[in-house]
Structure 1
């Protein structure tokens, strides 16, 4: 590219004159536009939110940009804003490999991974909802119960489940007795399942919904399915059974409570006989005590309900939380106290970046931002103590524990959002017992040997930033 043109394009870029850049480059015949020219054109299009056009330009020079981190960054940028997160992750990862530790690249990589995690979860949820609706069309009342459905792998027979839920298969006499006590005829599909495995905790515990409840926006969860009997606590006519939930918890007398939920009584799943009468085929509904016993339709019958249960992984947001915490530790602002303490450090360079590097490693290993009793958490306890007592050398135990929560625990944007006091007091007692923290009068201070060890560890992280 002509040197004067390059200078002009860079000047327009600094002045946000992106339209000028595009107009000038498009004046050049297409066959005469070189790699740098097309790169500037794509960058300007990205800055004007013309992402599809930017990608079209970048793909014409894909081969030449194979080893150029800027090409991959710009492609990733376009993919990101087009919400094509899988492609964005690929390009930002390549850009990071070619030019490691570029902050803009790392920031977009974290955001792209977060977007991909959200997209994958929503895709799973959509598939689960489609499957639920398909089950409703296929499995109506009157067919052979659970034909073709593998009930042998349905249950999670933990010690808790066996103790609290699972009874011996019910006899016809017990079934008749329970139905008489409840005042409702139980569905044939429910009876068929209970004769094979009488109550228990299923492996799949979530049911997709199209409307929100007090549990979640897009699903409800169950703890277990009640068996037919009176013996186990979570059986239909036992201690925490259907009659108990209706009489003691005030649930509407519309049928039979068949599932308890993780809210410990604040929502349940019921067989609803309002449409069919006491001897008909009931629908399955969710009843929400937290919302004035609001009733939400779930399934046409019990079999459809069971077939439509999905694993809790479908609604797992931990991966999204991980990427949100990675974004937090990479970019969010330090508390005023932590910023002040870092600014006073002369022993190592880039104290703030060292803290971010350590906390990034913590999130990558744990999947979330928190300090416990592990090695990296202990390093952060040591570091915070050294930072604080270096600036405030007359600090006693009580004063430090009060100041501790103002650094990171409740430090604003860059924060774990809380802490268990036992971890920090146990750490402090251990360091005193090990001779790493000493007392001068009532004040606490890091010993010289402990400080030296800490600085060596910090320098290792400094070399990685």
Structure 2
């Protein structure tokens, strides 16, 4: 591969022009593609989210890649996003053996092992459910739903609930029509609850989860329960109902969306028919769009889910969390990257204390340590960008978005333990639209005027 081609590919990679890389490299006859060419082609496929195509390319150079840690790393990346977590862990483990100490490799290995363990538990549970379903076929009459469970005080009678969720009790004809439309037989307990009240907001909106989700470490929350019908937007046949969430939002086509969540579409609760078939008794699961549609088991059936709903007050640890986060931002050790960047600052005295001061204000205002779209969060996005591009001026958009999490988001003691990438891209797009961040030859930087504003705000913090 000649130098001019390499420079062109590098530029396109920095500018996130992945399709141009693919088009150019595919134009090279396959017999003339060397190891570097195929590796770059596969990487571009990965960056486009075409993981099967990437894996096919990596297989073509597997013999030559046996001693290349980067080959194993990129193969692991493909396998992880294909949800082949055990194989991904094997690839990342080999990459780590060939080149020990790479933080990205160690992190992806950790995630892969966690996902593999969760996947194995899910497969064992589903196998047991299939076996139980076979044994129970034709084994007597069904139990009456919600026996010994009072629904008198179950629903919240608010105007919003009535306007957004509540419909008239469903007729048998409507139920049959909705089932035909969705392709699934609705659970008898769900139908029984909807005949008592067809959709609404329960007074208890939280459910304990065995594993952490995007919402909390130990539970999920729902906004409301979708009724059987098409009239209301928040009904399973409505314009914001189950088919909409699957077809427009990309949720897995494995069942029926029955609850929306406070994230406004970024996670939902579904009936999962994978183990029982379309006419069986589905499990209840949480599906997290923000985490590549990660599935978390909640309950064995709909009635168990309803019985397990509890008040959000049971999880109210806000004061303890606030105190812990205040201590964290005051005393927590900076990540290696953030610490390194701070040592290179001469424009602001006591830069570390200035950062801690701003983050303390954030915790005081919100009650927890997280950045969103508020004024102080935007200041911290600006500060991190200024710190990083000051030390690494040749940074592209893709590179910055990839490195961002190593400063504060996953910063260890002085860290948030996670973040929503959408907030970062939204901030970056806004700053570019405002002309405060400019892109030159694929490299991002603040304008001199805005950099001076950020420095001034830091000095005054």
TM-score normalized by the length of structure 1: 0.41
The structure with more radius of gyration? 1
